[in-house]
Amino acid sequence: MSDKKANAAVSRRKFIAAAGGTAALGASAAAAPRAARAAGTAHKPHYGMLIDLRRCIGCHACSVSCKAEFDVPLGATRSWVEYIEKGDYPDVSRQFLPRLCNHCSKPQCVDVCPTGATWKREEDGIVVVDADICIGCKYCILACPYDARFTNPITGTADKCDFCQHRVSQGLVPSCVNACIGEARIFGDLNDPQSEISKLIARNPVTVLRQEMGTEPNVFYIDADHTDPNGATNNGQYVRVDTHRQHAERR
């Protein structure tokens, strides 16, 4: 860990030294990796997302902006918000759980792909699908423990969230992060200990979804309610999950 910090410190110093020549660099979520690139060091970002549910109001702005960004076909969702209702009056609550691809460090979907159409990018850790290679066998859809994938009805190939790689590569944040009115979504480089996301993960209790699957997700949650109608946390009380997807139940 201290090595990592030292490296980061060195790269920042180099960056400051080189800053005169790269003054065009603006402030952005991807500033730290850019700094490393400008300084010529081998810093590889590993992108992740943190969703702070204390700030989420369940407005679906993320889902809508994702739909708009990718023109996701009707009935399919790359990004969605689940509502969890539980309890009996007057002791009731409603929690929100925004969902997307977890860009796992051990992605099961990649392990089962027979054509090599999906892989975890070495340069930034984003799990991507190449629709030109994918044959639509649906193996990855079944292998994903998060139901993050679906068959795109237009291309007939597997489709899912790709962390808006076209935006991220331009130094922008993903569309859902941009649209979040409560700033509940924080996107950034998990490899950089000075990034906002790394600091927040270090300072807060965070959880991931279905960690027992061993997939090592890179989407973290603060204050998430892991209640599931079939799970161990429902305490025998009334629980209803509304996925806001075509299939009403989690799977």
Partner 1 sequence: MQQELMWGLPVVLYLFLAGVGAGALTVSASIFLRGGDVARGLHVDTARYGAFLAPVPIMIGCGLLVFELGSFETGHWFKWLNLYKVINLSPMSIGTWLLSVTVVVSVVYAYTFLRDAPGLPNEMRYPLRRKLSWLAVPLGIATAVYTGILLGAMPSRPFWNSPIVALLFLVSALSTGIAGTLLIRALFHASNPDPETGKNFSRSGYLLTAADVLLIGFELMIIFLFIMYAHLTIGSVKEAVSVILFGGDLAPLFWLGVVVIGLLIPALVESIYIVPKLLYHRDFSVPRGVEVVVPAVILVGGFMLRYVVVVAGQITGPVGI
Shortest Cβ distance from residue 22 to partner 1 (Å)?
40
Neighbours of 36 (CB within 10 A): 23
Q: Between 14 and 210, whose beta carbon lies closer to partner 1?
A: 210
Shortest Cβ distance from residue 225 to partner 1 (Å)?
9
Secondary structure element (H or E) that encloses residue 64, with its range: helix 61-70
By the criterion CB under 8 A, which residues form the site for partner 1?
A: 97, 108, 111-117, 133-139, 141-145, 147, 151-158, 209-210, 212-214, 226-228, 230-233, 246-251
Shortest Cβ distance from residue 131 to partner 1 (Å)?
9
User: Distance (Å, rounded) from C-alpha 187 to C-alpha 86?
Assistant: 30
Neighbours of 138 (CB within 10 A): 13
Name beta bridge partners: 48: 188
Q: Between 37 and 99, whose beta carbon lies closer to partner 1?
A: 99
Residue environment code for 40-69, b if the CB has 16+ CB neighbours within 10 A, otherwise e: eeebebbbbbbbbbeebebebbbbebbbeb
User: Distance (Å, rounded) from C-alpha 187 to C-alpha 171?
Assistant: 11
Q: Between 11 and 108, whose beta carbon lies closer to partner 1?
A: 108
Q: Between 138 and 166, whose beta carbon lies closer to partner 1?
A: 138
Shortest Cβ distance from residue 55 to partner 1 (Å)?
20
